[in-house]
Amino acid sequence: MSEKDAPLLELRGVSKFFGSVIALQDVSMFVRAGEVTCLLGDNGAGKSTLIKTLAGVHLPSEGIYLYEGEEVLFQSPREALDRGIATVYQDLAMIPLMSIWRNFFLGSEPTKNLGPIRMYDQAYAKRTTREEMAKMGIDIRDPDQPVGTLSGGERQSVAIARAVFFGAKVLILDEPTAALGVKQAGVVLRYITAARDRGIGVIFITHNPHHAYPVGDHFVILRRGQVMGDYSKDEVSRDELVQMMAGGADLEALEHELSSR
Protein backbone atom coordinates (compact mmCIF):
# COMPACT_ATOMS: atom_id res chain seq x y z
CA MET A 1 0.00 0.00 0.00
CA SER A 2 3.00 2.27 -0.31
CA GLU A 3 2.31 3.10 -3.94
CA LYS A 4 0.75 6.38 -5.02
CA ASP A 5 0.17 9.11 -2.45
CA ALA A 6 -0.04 8.80 1.30
CA PRO A 7 -3.33 8.10 3.04
CA LEU A 8 -5.47 11.12 3.96
CA LEU A 9 -6.90 9.37 6.99
CA GLU A 10 -5.51 6.30 8.65
CA LEU A 11 -6.15 4.16 11.72
CA ARG A 12 -3.27 2.07 13.06
CA GLY A 13 -3.97 -0.71 15.53
CA VAL A 14 -7.02 0.97 16.98
CA SER A 15 -8.95 -0.79 19.75
CA LYS A 16 -12.03 0.38 21.58
CA PHE A 17 -13.20 -1.11 24.85
CA PHE A 18 -16.44 -0.45 26.70
CA GLY A 19 -15.81 -1.90 30.16
CA SER A 20 -15.11 -5.58 29.55
CA VAL A 21 -16.53 -5.49 26.02
CA ILE A 22 -14.01 -5.39 23.17
CA ALA A 23 -15.85 -3.51 20.43
CA LEU A 24 -12.81 -3.07 18.17
CA GLN A 25 -9.49 -4.85 18.32
CA ASP A 26 -6.36 -3.82 16.50
CA VAL A 27 -8.18 -2.25 13.57
CA SER A 28 -6.07 -0.67 10.84
CA MET A 29 -7.51 0.99 7.78
CA PHE A 30 -6.95 4.02 5.57
CA VAL A 31 -8.46 6.14 2.83
CA ARG A 32 -6.66 8.23 0.22
CA ALA A 33 -7.90 11.40 -1.39
CA GLY A 34 -10.00 10.60 -4.45
CA GLU A 35 -10.54 6.99 -3.44
CA VAL A 36 -13.37 5.01 -1.95
CA THR A 37 -12.60 2.68 0.94
CA CYS A 38 -15.45 0.27 1.56
CA LEU A 39 -15.91 -0.99 5.05
CA LEU A 40 -17.85 -4.22 4.96
CA GLY A 41 -19.24 -6.00 7.95
CA ASP A 42 -22.29 -7.85 9.08
CA ASN A 43 -24.42 -6.78 12.02
CA GLY A 44 -22.38 -6.66 15.21
CA ALA A 45 -19.06 -6.50 13.38
CA GLY A 46 -18.19 -3.19 15.06
CA LYS A 47 -19.10 -0.88 12.18
CA SER A 48 -20.99 1.59 14.37
CA THR A 49 -18.15 1.85 16.88
CA LEU A 50 -15.67 2.31 14.07
CA ILE A 51 -17.75 5.10 12.49
CA LYS A 52 -18.10 6.87 15.80
CA THR A 53 -14.38 6.59 16.39
CA LEU A 54 -13.66 8.04 12.95
CA ALA A 55 -16.25 10.79 13.41
CA GLY A 56 -14.81 11.95 16.73
CA VAL A 57 -17.63 10.68 18.95
CA HIS A 58 -15.36 8.09 20.63
CA LEU A 59 -11.67 8.35 21.39
CA PRO A 60 -9.78 5.14 20.62
CA SER A 61 -8.80 3.13 23.72
CA GLU A 62 -5.59 2.06 21.99
CA GLY A 63 -3.86 2.80 18.70
CA ILE A 64 -3.28 5.86 16.55
CA TYR A 65 -5.64 8.00 14.47
CA LEU A 66 -3.71 9.79 11.72
CA TYR A 67 -5.21 12.58 9.65
CA GLU A 68 -3.29 14.45 6.94
CA GLY A 69 -0.14 12.79 8.20
CA GLU A 70 -0.38 13.84 11.84
CA GLU A 71 -1.81 12.13 14.88
CA VAL A 72 -5.13 13.55 16.03
CA LEU A 73 -7.35 13.16 19.10
CA PHE A 74 -10.80 14.50 18.29
CA GLN A 75 -12.73 15.46 21.40
CA SER A 76 -16.02 16.02 19.57
CA PRO A 77 -17.65 15.45 16.17
CA ARG A 78 -17.54 19.21 15.64
CA GLU A 79 -13.75 19.16 15.90
CA ALA A 80 -13.53 16.42 13.28
CA LEU A 81 -15.96 18.31 11.08
CA ASP A 82 -13.91 21.50 11.36
CA ARG A 83 -10.91 19.56 10.08
CA GLY A 84 -12.95 18.34 7.11
CA ILE A 85 -14.15 14.92 8.25
CA ALA A 86 -17.87 14.86 7.59
CA THR A 87 -20.07 11.98 8.63
CA VAL A 88 -23.44 11.33 7.04
CA TYR A 89 -25.38 9.12 9.40
CA GLN A 90 -28.05 6.65 8.44
CA ASP A 91 -30.70 8.72 10.22
CA LEU A 92 -29.37 11.71 8.33
CA ALA A 93 -29.76 14.73 10.58
CA MET A 94 -32.22 16.36 8.24
CA ILE A 95 -35.31 18.21 9.31
CA PRO A 96 -38.30 16.90 7.35
CA LEU A 97 -40.57 19.92 7.71
CA MET A 98 -37.85 22.34 6.59
CA SER A 99 -37.19 23.21 2.97
CA ILE A 100 -34.23 21.70 1.14
CA TRP A 101 -32.28 24.97 1.04
CA ARG A 102 -32.83 25.72 4.73
CA ASN A 103 -31.65 22.21 5.56
CA PHE A 104 -28.67 22.52 3.25
CA PHE A 105 -27.38 25.62 5.02
CA LEU A 106 -28.61 24.93 8.56
CA GLY A 107 -25.89 25.99 10.99
CA SER A 108 -23.81 27.72 8.28
CA GLU A 109 -26.24 30.21 6.80
CA PRO A 110 -25.00 32.79 4.31
CA THR A 111 -25.85 36.37 5.27
CA LYS A 112 -26.20 39.70 3.54
CA ASN A 113 -26.49 43.12 5.06
CA LEU A 114 -29.56 45.27 4.76
CA GLY A 115 -28.27 48.49 6.26
CA PRO A 116 -27.23 47.55 9.79
CA ILE A 117 -29.35 44.38 9.81
CA ARG A 118 -27.86 41.01 8.95
CA MET A 119 -30.27 38.96 6.91
CA TYR A 120 -30.25 35.39 5.71
CA ASP A 121 -29.20 35.55 2.05
CA GLN A 122 -32.00 33.35 0.84
CA ALA A 123 -31.59 33.97 -2.87
CA TYR A 124 -27.95 32.83 -2.64
CA ALA A 125 -28.94 29.83 -0.50
CA LYS A 126 -31.58 28.66 -2.94
CA ARG A 127 -29.36 29.19 -5.98
CA THR A 128 -26.37 27.46 -4.37
CA THR A 129 -28.43 24.52 -3.18
CA ARG A 130 -29.67 23.98 -6.71
CA GLU A 131 -26.18 24.40 -8.21
CA GLU A 132 -24.44 22.12 -5.73
CA MET A 133 -27.03 19.43 -6.22
CA ALA A 134 -26.61 19.81 -9.96
CA LYS A 135 -22.83 19.35 -9.61
CA MET A 136 -23.52 16.05 -7.88
CA GLY A 137 -25.69 15.16 -10.85
CA ILE A 138 -29.05 15.66 -9.19
CA ASP A 139 -31.52 18.14 -10.48
CA ILE A 140 -33.80 19.23 -7.69
CA ARG A 141 -37.24 20.24 -8.66
CA ASP A 142 -37.95 23.01 -6.19
CA PRO A 143 -35.52 24.04 -3.41
CA ASP A 144 -38.55 25.25 -1.43
CA GLN A 145 -40.06 21.83 -1.03
CA PRO A 146 -39.77 20.27 2.43
CA VAL A 147 -37.10 17.59 2.81
CA GLY A 148 -39.88 15.32 4.08
CA THR A 149 -41.24 15.13 0.53
CA LEU A 150 -37.97 13.70 -0.84
CA SER A 151 -37.29 10.00 -1.24
CA GLY A 152 -34.67 8.29 0.92
CA GLY A 153 -32.06 8.34 -1.83
CA GLU A 154 -32.64 12.02 -2.55
CA ARG A 155 -32.27 12.87 1.14
CA GLN A 156 -28.96 10.99 1.22
CA SER A 157 -27.87 12.97 -1.81
CA VAL A 158 -28.73 16.29 -0.16
CA ALA A 159 -26.73 15.26 2.91
CA ILE A 160 -23.74 14.22 0.78
CA ALA A 161 -23.88 17.38 -1.37
CA ARG A 162 -24.03 19.48 1.80
CA ALA A 163 -20.97 17.79 3.28
CA VAL A 164 -19.07 18.22 0.01
CA PHE A 165 -20.04 21.89 -0.32
CA PHE A 166 -18.87 22.69 3.20
CA GLY A 167 -15.39 21.49 2.40
CA ALA A 168 -15.34 17.86 3.47
CA LYS A 169 -12.03 16.17 2.64
CA VAL A 170 -13.15 12.86 4.04
CA LEU A 171 -16.73 11.72 3.75
CA ILE A 172 -17.89 8.92 6.05
CA LEU A 173 -21.13 7.37 4.87
CA ASP A 174 -22.95 5.12 7.29
CA GLU A 175 -24.99 2.55 5.37
CA PRO A 176 -26.29 5.13 2.90
CA THR A 177 -27.89 2.48 0.71
CA ALA A 178 -29.31 0.21 3.42
CA ALA A 179 -32.92 1.31 3.42
CA LEU A 180 -33.13 1.99 -0.31
CA GLY A 181 -34.58 0.21 -3.30
CA VAL A 182 -32.34 -0.87 -6.18
CA LYS A 183 -32.82 2.28 -8.25
CA GLN A 184 -32.46 4.63 -5.30
CA ALA A 185 -29.31 2.85 -4.16
CA GLY A 186 -27.94 3.36 -7.66
CA VAL A 187 -28.56 7.09 -7.33
CA VAL A 188 -26.59 7.24 -4.09
CA LEU A 189 -23.71 5.14 -5.50
CA ARG A 190 -23.49 7.68 -8.28
CA TYR A 191 -23.00 10.53 -5.79
CA ILE A 192 -20.34 8.52 -4.05
CA THR A 193 -18.36 8.33 -7.27
CA ALA A 194 -19.09 12.01 -7.96
CA ALA A 195 -17.65 12.95 -4.54
CA ARG A 196 -14.62 10.72 -5.19
CA ASP A 197 -14.02 12.37 -8.55
CA ARG A 198 -13.89 15.74 -6.78
CA GLY A 199 -10.92 14.49 -4.79
CA ILE A 200 -12.68 13.52 -1.60
CA GLY A 201 -11.68 10.43 0.34
CA VAL A 202 -14.85 8.41 0.87
CA ILE A 203 -15.32 5.79 3.58
CA PHE A 204 -18.37 3.83 2.54
CA ILE A 205 -19.81 1.61 5.24
CA THR A 206 -22.15 -1.12 4.10
CA HIS A 207 -23.09 -4.75 4.59
CA ASN A 208 -23.91 -5.15 0.94
CA PRO A 209 -20.95 -6.28 -1.23
CA HIS A 210 -23.01 -5.69 -4.37
CA HIS A 211 -23.18 -2.00 -3.53
CA ALA A 212 -19.56 -1.84 -2.40
CA TYR A 213 -17.88 -3.57 -5.33
CA PRO A 214 -18.79 -1.18 -8.19
CA VAL A 215 -17.58 1.95 -6.39
CA GLY A 216 -14.83 0.75 -4.05
CA ASP A 217 -11.09 1.10 -4.59
CA HIS A 218 -10.34 -1.22 -1.75
CA PHE A 219 -12.29 -3.23 0.71
CA VAL A 220 -11.86 -3.69 4.44
CA ILE A 221 -13.72 -6.65 5.92
CA LEU A 222 -14.67 -6.25 9.54
CA ARG A 223 -15.78 -9.25 11.60
CA ARG A 224 -16.36 -9.43 15.32
CA GLY A 225 -14.45 -6.23 15.93
CA GLN A 226 -11.39 -7.25 13.91
CA VAL A 227 -10.16 -6.63 10.40
CA MET A 228 -10.34 -9.90 8.48
CA GLY A 229 -8.69 -8.49 5.40
CA ASP A 230 -7.95 -5.39 3.35
CA TYR A 231 -8.05 -5.97 -0.39
CA SER A 232 -7.63 -3.65 -3.33
CA LYS A 233 -10.05 -4.08 -6.18
CA ASP A 234 -7.63 -6.05 -8.40
CA GLU A 235 -6.98 -8.55 -5.64
CA VAL A 236 -10.56 -9.63 -5.17
CA SER A 237 -13.60 -10.47 -7.27
CA ARG A 238 -17.17 -9.66 -6.44
CA ASP A 239 -17.92 -13.30 -5.68
CA GLU A 240 -14.95 -13.59 -3.35
CA LEU A 241 -16.15 -10.47 -1.58
CA VAL A 242 -19.64 -11.95 -1.12
CA GLN A 243 -18.04 -15.17 0.16
CA MET A 244 -15.89 -13.30 2.67
CA MET A 245 -18.72 -11.11 3.82
CA ALA A 246 -20.94 -14.02 4.65
CA GLY A 247 -18.02 -15.91 6.12
CA GLY A 248 -17.35 -18.43 3.32
CA ALA A 249 -17.18 -21.54 5.44
CA ASP A 250 -20.35 -20.64 7.30
CA LEU A 251 -22.19 -20.17 4.05
CA GLU A 252 -21.05 -23.54 2.69
CA ALA A 253 -22.06 -25.19 5.93
CA LEU A 254 -25.45 -23.56 5.73
CA GLU A 255 -25.88 -24.61 2.12
CA HIS A 256 -24.97 -28.12 3.05
CA GLU A 257 -27.33 -28.11 5.98
CA LEU A 258 -30.23 -26.82 3.93
CA SER A 259 -29.70 -29.19 1.02
CA SER A 260 -29.41 -32.25 3.24
CA ARG A 261 -32.92 -31.84 4.54
Least CB distance from residue 2 to other proteins, whole Å?
A: 32
Least CB distance from residue 41 to other proteins, whole Å?
A: 24
* Residue 247 CB coordination number (10 Å): 16
* Residue 205 CB coordination number (10 Å): 25
Least CB distance from residue 36 to other proteins, whole Å?
A: 14
DSSP letters, 117-153, are: EEEE-HHHHHHHHHHHHHHTT---S-TTSBGGGS-HH
Q: Is 167 in the site for other proteins (CB under 8 A)?
A: no
CA atoms within 13 A on the CB side of 180: 25
Classify the C-alpha dihedral 178-179-183-186 as positive or negative.
negative
Q: Is 198 in the site for other proteins (CB under 8 A)?
A: no
Q: Is 145 in the site for other proteins (CB under 8 A)?
A: yes
Q: Is 229 in the site for other proteins (CB under 8 A)?
A: no
Q: Which lies closer to other proteins via its Cβ, residue 92 or residue 178?
A: 92
Q: Which lies closer to other proteins via its Cβ, residue 76 or residue 237?
A: 76
Q: Is 77 in the site for other proteins (CB under 8 A)?
A: yes
Give the pairing type, strands 170-174 and 117-120.
unpaired
Binding segment toward other proteins, per CB under 8 A, in 11-19, 31-39, 101-109, 243-251: 101-109
Q: Which lies closer to other proteins via its Cβ, residue 8 or residue 192?
A: 192
Binding segment toward other proteins, per CB under 8 A, in 7-15, 111-119, 232-240, 244-252: 111-119
Q: Which of these, 70, 53, 59, lies nearest to 8 by C-alpha position?
A: 70
For other proteins, the binding residue among 118, 127, 135, 238 (CB under 8 A) is 118
Q: Is 210 in the site for other proteins (CB under 8 A)?
A: no
Classify the C-alpha dihedral 175-23-2-218 as positive or negative.
negative
Site residues (vs other proteins, CB under 8 A) = 77-78, 81, 92-98, 102, 105-109, 111, 117-120, 122, 134, 137-139, 141-142, 145-146, 148-149, 183, 186-187, 189-190, 214
